[in-house]
Amino acid sequence: MQITGGQGAADGFSTPVSQTPVHAAAELTEHGPTAYIRHLDQVYTLRITRANKLILTK
């Protein structure tokens, strides 16, 4: 997998791309259609659609 781009993003973070972790969606979902991601006190659902698109919902 190749990731291109400069430093940072619109959110103001300045982590260089080479230091940003990359996670395969299939590994996060354990090769199923969904995974739950906890951030602080909220739980989000990551879903892989039949069209292989990713949807992240609260």
What are the CA-CA distances from residue 32 to residues 13, 44, 45, 57 (Å)? 31, 16, 13, 17
Across the range 15-27, mean pLDDT stands at: 87
* Separation of alpha carbons 49 and 34, rounded Å: 9
Residue 40 has pLDDT above 60, yes or no: yes
If DSSP codes are grouped into helix, strand and coil, which group holds residue 55? strand
Residue 47 has pLDDT above 90, yes or no: yes
Q: 18: pLDDT confidence band, cut at 50, 70 and 90?
A: confident
If DSSP codes are grouped into helix, strand and coil, which group holds residue 48? strand
Query: What mean pLDDT, rounded, does the chain reach?
Result: 85
CB atoms closer than 10 angstroms to residue 5: 9
Residue 38 has pLDDT above 70, yes or no: yes
